[in-house]
Structure 1
Amino acid sequence: MARRAAGRFVGWFRPDRDSSKGTLQDQLYAAIRQAALQGELSAGERLPSSRALAADLGLGRNTVVAAIERLVAEGYLTSRRGAGLFVAADLPAEGVARAPAVGSPARPPILSRRSAAAPGLHAEGESDVSRPFALGAAALDAFPLETWRRLAVQTLRRRPADLLGYGDRRGLPALRRALATYLADSRGVVCSPETIVIVSGAQQALDLIARLLLDPGDAVVVEDPGYVGARDALASAGARLVPIAVDDQGLDPALLAAINPAPKLAMLTPSHQFPLGMTLPVARRLALLAEARARGIWIVEDDYDCEYRYGGPPLQSLQGLDGGERVLYVGTFSKVLFPGLRLGYVVLPAQLVDGFLRLKAAADGFSPGWPQTILAEFIAEGHLVQHIRRMRVLYRRRRMALLAAIQRHAGDLLLPRLSEAGLHVALEFRDGRDDRMAAAAAQAAGLVVAPLSRYAVARRLSGLLLGFAAFPEAELEAAVQRLARALR
């Protein structure tokens, strides 16, 4: 019987040794599956042994056994000890499910218009942070890991049961209280624990804000050049981006006033404009806020690395000047502590909190509780402020080393833009060359540099962004020499 079954099977299956048709194992698996689903092999019908199939089809026995084992595991065949292999009796009727023909092209995925229009992950999150001059890389070796470990152990000892359950959508109350005090003291932010929501990084905050405030087609002002991650979040929500070129003082309020009808939202980095580095002066801050109140424009203030300013105290936040009426304030611990923490926060106008929390619940419910507990203790015991002070000294030294090395080895090629803040420097090519080709040359030399034009929307730029925070002075010196050789 097995021999007759094998002969019948050989009659309608022929292996194709063209590699583009898939492996022989995949072909055999797909052929038996399709035959069973379409009724060419009847429910309960006995199949030939693996030895007989291998001989008649000219296949290796291991190939046949692997295909059969897969079909048995997925329920298309059953194996009875001492009796052999049989087509399963409970397969769907013919036409209910059909296996794709071997070698046929897969059907393209069906995506929503919004997802298909999303630009994709912003480049800052894709670079190799171990190589100079990676953006977003902090000096993780200088992080007080022993202090963090001690607090982690303490929190587990005190209340492990609380840390294992579901958390508050707003975030841990103790962390929100600690943040409210810290933000008021360091940035002049006007907030209470009730208007702070803990999120899984600043990017989630931007994504939820976009979905909260924007309908497809709404106009949103973005800085040009500006942060790609923010543009990704806005475009994914269907926003119509309206770029405004920044000058040496940031975004000009008169250009915002000239946009008619009024945009729904403006996305700004006033403390340290990304990527060029200037700080928005007080006069412009006040004019922007007056324009926002008069025309009903929401402002998102991304204060991504406000802690690191090297030329005097930072200006009061836009949110603090506004009093929390029209400004949504976004912060993150990725730069000030470490990116693997995946915690950020947003300070919201009171009337937006409930809507934001509904979207947060739909996105991921709540942010992990144990890291929040450790972070709350870290802030309350004063470690955050101490760490920032130490890192500000370290980063100022590394920044000066980088600028000095550029002047020595590449001053004829690159002109640094003046900036007294942040963890990167922006440089412009003196000869206006193609900065993407220059970045590729640096990449070939083992460096990670970002072309300035990557962040532009409508204007033409030629330059590079170099991160310095994660790299000792000697490494920066050597890296600049390699960069200069690659650019010449």
Structure 2
Amino acid sequence: MARRAAGRFVGWFRPVRNTGSGTLQDQLYTAIRRAVLGGELAAGERLPSSRALASDLGLGRNTVVAAVERLTAEGYLTSRRGAGLFVAADLPVEDLRPPADSRPPILSRRSAAAPDLHAEREPALLRPFALGTASLDAFPLELWRRLAVQTLRRRPGDLLGYGDPRGLPALRQALATYLADSRGVVCSPETVMIVSGAQQALDLIARLLLDPGDVAAVEDPGYAGARDALASAGARLVPVAVDNQGFDPAILAGLSPAPKLAMLTPSHQFPLGMTLPASRRLALLAEARSRGIWIVEDDYDCEYRYGGPPLQALQGLDGGERVLYVGTFSKVLFPGLRLGYVVLPEPLVDGFLRLKTAADGFAPGWPQAILAEFIAQGYLAQHIRRMRVLYRRRRSALLTAIERHAGDLLVPRLSEAGLHLTVEFRDGRDDKKASRALQEAGLTVGPLSRYAVARGLSGLLLGFAAFPEAELEAAVQRLVSVLR
């Protein structure tokens, strides 16, 4: 009888053992625990002896005894002196089984409104024409490694503990100097905050400035991640259609009630690529001051301008009064760094710090310390100069390939900045359907309509920075063959 009872365990143990997951003791423990919780072993049922189990399963008796002792200690089994081993009689096994009509969990409205951005990303793949990715093969990795070793040798202790939610002082000082010199940003180390990427900056800003129901103006088309951050905070979004000069402050002036904030990309409008002219910048700032509107300036790839030096930031014209300036190192260096920054008007610093501390405490110290040295020693400026030459060449190669192979299909929107090219379909076809077909053909493209709120647009966003000229040429040919 004991032999037949022990034989029941063979069928449960074999699938777990075949996975090779953990030691034999762990595998036996998992098999018996699963049988108990699944109801295959009833409450109060007697189990075979450890000797019988060991014989049937081909295990050492010590292995079986150790697994049984774990299950007994955790309350799944009980041992009765002189009677043997039993399944615990007081386990609420029925309560542990999922109901047959199991329904999805009820989520908060904020969670339901959050973007499904992870579905658009392919962490293991880098395929033409992936957006927002720098040339990782051109990054000075050996230099970064040397700075890392020097930094950790010099100050290993203080980087192991809890960090300042504002960010490492050395990095904030280096950034304040760099932004003032390169972008005309008005700031000090006290108003520079280090965050875990630009998306966290936008999320924290939305929670800092908006209550549910507050109005926020957004570009149309515009960056979906910004819209999602605002919507997740409960904002009522008002799309402002951009024209050939970008965001129109006259439309903003006509909104009633006045929006609490306006979020835009003045240096390189995403995704269409135009630059907001000085006249509109000044009009926008005047409107913001007169009606108490906060302006969020997302300067996501301002460093890469091919028709001249980077423009002065809108924040610099404002003097740091109504503009919150957001930047990231994901596109300048590499996305795995997960560091960005915000330059805040001084009255907003304390509130932002409270939210940052509640969100994740602080950004990791070691990457900040290495980055601070990278900036302070002039390597960031040097790297940007090199990449500007490389990206200009790759952009030119992409434009030439489109003209050669796809002139009758696509119309490029010319822009003198950025890491992607926006093209529109001459025939106005369904860009989402085209994007899916291109995805199946091994290309990563974003449909232009994805970034629009109330406008009818049809086109594609083609990232070029991460791909050599020959690869771009071949990718355009593949793209054309699919579209035709």
Shorter-chain-normalised TM-score: which range?
0.7 to 0.9
- What's the counterpart of residue 27 of structure 2? none
- What's the counterpart of residue 18 of structure 1? none
User: Which of 350, 358, 377 lines up with 2:373 in the alignment?
Assistant: 377
How big is the shift at 1:442?
1.4
Report 1:103-122 matches (<5 A): 104-121=100-117
With over 3 angstroms needed to count, the CA separation of the structure-2 counterparts of 1:386 and 1:26, relative to structure 1, is: same
Contact 1:122/1:229, CA 8 A, preserved across alignment: no
- What's the counterpart of residue 311 of structure 1? 307
Counterpart-to-counterpart distance in 2, 1:384 and 1:81: 73
User: Residue 277 of structure 1 aligns to which amino acid in structure 2?
Assistant: G
Contact 1:127/1:448, CA 8 A, preserved across alignment: no
- Bigger CA drift: 427-436 or 117-126? 117-126
Q: Which runs of 5+ in 2 are unaligned?
A: 13-30, 59-63
Local SS of the residue matching 1:164: coil
Contact 2:33/2:71, CA 8 A, preserved across alignment: no
User: Which of 165, 178, 181 lines up with 1:185 in the alignment?
Assistant: 181
With over 3 angstroms needed to count, the CA separation of the structure-2 counterparts of 1:78 and 1:478, relative to structure 1, is: same
- Bigger CA drift: 390-399 or 107-116? 107-116
- Confirm whether residue 357 of structure 1 aligns to residue 364 of structure 2: no
- What's the counterpart of residue 232 of structure 2? 236
- Confirm whether residue 437 of structure 1 aligns to residue 433 of structure 2: yes
Counterpart-to-counterpart distance in 2, 1:337 and 1:358: 28
Contact 2:220/2:451, CA 8 A, preserved across alignment: yes
Local SS of the residue matching 1:234: helix
CA offsets per residue over residues 239-290 of structure 1, 9 Å max, x none? Answer: 1111111111111111111110011111101111111111111111111111
- What's the counterpart of residue 29 of structure 1? 36
- Bigger CA drift: 238-247 or 418-427? 238-247
Counterpart-to-counterpart distance in 2, 1:254 and 1:167: 44
User: Residue 306 of structure 1 aligns to which amino acid in structure 2?
Assistant: C
Counterpart-to-counterpart distance in 2, 1:437 and 1:459: 18
Report 1:133-144 matches (<5 A): 133-144=129-140
How big is the shift at 1:475?
0.7
Counterpart-to-counterpart distance in 2, 1:425 and 1:123: 22
With over 3 angstroms needed to count, the CA separation of the structure-2 counterparts of 1:68 and 1:315, relative to structure 1, is: same
The percentage of aligned residue pairs carrying the same residue is 80
With over 3 angstroms needed to count, the CA separation of the structure-2 counterparts of 1:35 and 1:253, relative to structure 1, is: same
CA offsets per residue over residues 402-426 of structure 1, 9 Å max, x none? Answer: 0000000001100000200000000
Contact 2:330/2:338, CA 8 A, preserved across alignment: yes
- Confirm whether residue 169 of structure 1 aligns to residue 165 of structure 2: yes
User: Residue 348 of structure 2 aligns to which amino acid in structure 1?
Assistant: L
Counterpart-to-counterpart distance in 1, 2:98 and 2:298: 51
CA offsets per residue over residues 117-171 of structure 1, 9 Å max, x none? Answer: 2232266644765211110121111111111111100111111101111111111
- Bigger CA drift: 230-239 or 74-83? 74-83
With over 3 angstroms needed to count, the CA separation of the structure-2 counterparts of 1:294 and 1:122, relative to structure 1, is: farther
How big is the shift at 1:102?
6.4
- What's the counterpart of residue 286 of structure 2? 290
Counterpart-to-counterpart distance in 2, 1:82 and 1:391: 78
Local SS of the residue matching 2:237: strand
With over 3 angstroms needed to count, the CA separation of the structure-2 counterparts of 1:31 and 1:337, relative to structure 1, is: closer
With over 3 angstroms needed to count, the CA separation of the structure-2 counterparts of 1:79 and 1:302, relative to structure 1, is: farther
User: Residue 437 of structure 1 aligns to which amino acid in structure 2?
Assistant: K
How big is the shift at 1:86?
3.1
With over 3 angstroms needed to count, the CA separation of the structure-2 counterparts of 1:51 and 1:330, relative to structure 1, is: same
Contact 1:79/1:85, CA 8 A, preserved across alignment: yes
Counterpart-to-counterpart distance in 1, 2:383 and 2:120: 24
- What's the counterpart of residue 20 of structure 1? none
Contact 2:36/2:87, CA 8 A, preserved across alignment: no
Local SS of the residue matching 2:157: helix
CA offsets per residue over residues 431-450 of structure 1, 9 Å max, x none? Answer: 10111111122122211111
How big is the shift at 1:80?
7.3
Counterpart-to-counterpart distance in 1, 2:125 and 2:193: 29
Local SS of the residue matching 1:153: helix
- Bigger CA drift: 249-258 or 100-109? 100-109
Contact 1:33/1:99, CA 8 A, preserved across alignment: no
- Confirm whether residue 474 of structure 1 aligns to residue 470 of structure 2: yes
TM-score of the pair, normalised by structure 2: 0.87
- What's the counterpart of residue 21 of structure 2? none
- What's the counterpart of residue 418 of structure 1? 414
Contact 2:36/2:42, CA 8 A, preserved across alignment: no
Local SS of the residue matching 1:162: coil
Counterpart-to-counterpart distance in 2, 1:81 and 1:130: 63
Report 1:240-255 matches (<5 A): 240-255=236-251
- Confirm whether residue 461 of structure 1 aligns to residue 457 of structure 2: yes
How big is the shift at 1:172?
0.6
Counterpart-to-counterpart distance in 2, 1:234 and 1:102: 36
How big is the shift at 1:108?
2.9
TM-score of the pair, normalised by structure 1: 0.86
- What's the counterpart of residue 335 of structure 1? 331
Report 1:6-17 matches (<5 A): none
How big is the shift at 1:173?
0.5
User: Residue 29 of structure 1 aligns to which amino acid in structure 2?
Assistant: V
How big is the shift at 1:487?
0.6
User: Residue 451 of structure 1 aligns to which amino acid in structure 2?
Assistant: P
Contact 2:42/2:87, CA 8 A, preserved across alignment: no
- What's the counterpart of residue 446 of structure 2? 450
Local SS of the residue matching 2:190: helix
User: Residue 369 of structure 2 aligns to which amino acid in structure 1?
Assistant: T
Counterpart-to-counterpart distance in 1, 2:414 and 2:81: 80
Contact 1:424/1:468, CA 8 A, preserved across alignment: yes
CA offsets per residue over residues 13-55 of structure 1, 9 Å max, x none? Answer: xx9xxxxxxxx9888423559964xxxx4xxx855558999xx
Report 1:212-227 matches (<5 A): 212-227=208-223
* Count of residues in correspondence between the two structures: 457
User: Residue 401 of structure 2 aligns to which amino acid in structure 1?
Assistant: A
- What's the counterpart of residue 75 of structure 2? 75
Contact 1:128/1:448, CA 8 A, preserved across alignment: no
Local SS of the residue matching 1:99: helix
Contact 1:413/1:429, CA 8 A, preserved across alignment: yes
With over 3 angstroms needed to count, the CA separation of the structure-2 counterparts of 1:101 and 1:169, relative to structure 1, is: closer
- Confirm whether residue 270 of structure 1 aligns to residue 266 of structure 2: yes
